[in-house]
Homo-oligomer: A and B are copies of this chain.
Amino acid sequence: MTGISSSISSGAGQYRKLLTHQPHPLKSLDQLAVMTVCHRGQEICSQGRPADHWYCVISGAARCCVIQLDGRRQIIDLLLPGDAFGFTAGDEYGYTVEAVPEGTVVAAYLRRRVELLADADPQLAREIRQIAFLALDRLEAQLLILGRITALEKVGSFILEMATRLCERGNSVALPMSRYDIADYLAVSVETVSRALTDLKQRGVIKLSGTRIVRIVDRDALEEGERRAHAA
């Protein structure tokens, strides 16, 4: 259950290619990367365990969860290809990270080794700072979304955020996660997420192809915030 079952050492052939071909931060650490192909829901790192690795999502997606005292799950970060995680000032992780879709690929780097390399390579040290700053920017953006008032605004911002971060063209976004995940990410109930999507759809702001594909029809309506929701 815990830990990574199908680890592939960095020299192991087929996953090397993933790194070679795919652009991602920490290019210069490809030699150190331990690649893992994860199953749906597989734990990548666990709350309370020693924080001895840094990670980077190569493909797929991962959710960074905390279980609250009352049993509710909160997703504090959503990790897409190119996003790094596992940074903490403490000596253990404050969250659990799980792969979302089947086949999510994650690169793991032994923190100690990277830090030793960084000690000798200022350019690498700068890159690490940069990806840590990206993580900061991500959390700040998420705080802004959680700070929004209505659920409609939250869901709207969420769709826009996903569209941006997935670099989707054609105004179509493939959500990698379930409504439950979205709910725990936006700190609202599943039903509310569902209703918000239905609402946006009926108002002609988005279109749904299946449940996971969202086409953005009226970007401005999403951006401007939906305060005066029932207008129009």
Contacts and interface: CB of A to CB of B under 8 A. Distances in A.
A122 to B, nearest CB: 4
Contacts of A213: none
Closest 3 CB pairs of A and B: A119-B122, A89-B133, A139-B139
What does DSSP make chain A's interface, helix, strand, loop or mixed?
helix
Contacts of A225: 68-70
Given A132-B133, A135-B136, A136-B135, A144 B76 contact: yes
Contacts of A137: 88-90, 94
19 contacts: A66-B140, A70-B227, A74-B143, A74-B144, A76-B144, A76-B147, A77-B140, A87-B132, A87-B133, A88-B133, A89-B134, A95-B140, A115-B126, A120-B122, A129-B132, A135-B136, A136-B136, A139-B139, A139-B143
Contacts of A147: 68, 72, 74, 76, 146, 187
Interface residues of A, number: 45
A125 B120 CA distance: 11
